[in-house]
A and B are shown apart, each in its own frame.
Chain A
């Protein structure tokens, strides 16, 4: 069963706290992504990972960092969370063959509230 799993589904943190969002996939996909979704702004790419320890900044990386030590896991870390990081965060994966017809598989999202 092809699946991208995100934990937790909901998270409430206070400003200044550290946040760890976890993502796993069971499809042996090479490429993994972190997006955030805000009303009216669509999906904005935070980071993309092409494989273990091979990560690149997306469009809005400031305030975030990522870790990928195993192909199936990709973590998003917020050091000292800010209220403007309140959002829904989606992890996604794709096969990563380099062909231009790939499909993104999304997790169910993590709704983060920073108070």
Chain B
């Protein structure tokens, strides 16, 4: 069965530092992959998505992610983190059917001033 793994429960970075959040997936075919962000008390906002083509995708708020088939990874990156980026980040991929998304367990990002 398809699965999405986010190995890091918490990550703390200093403001202005670079960021990489890890996501690994288990999927038979080339997956669609998504990153969502959830600020405290808020809903899930789409940051970016990969469907096909260029393996480096750009998203909102200066985020990007790279699909690496050989590593079954879709890591999220940002070159310089802002305090407002503190939130929980979820990687997601379609399940056995395309009708549902399977989410990773999330990575909570804390930003030090």
Do A and B form a real pair?
A: no
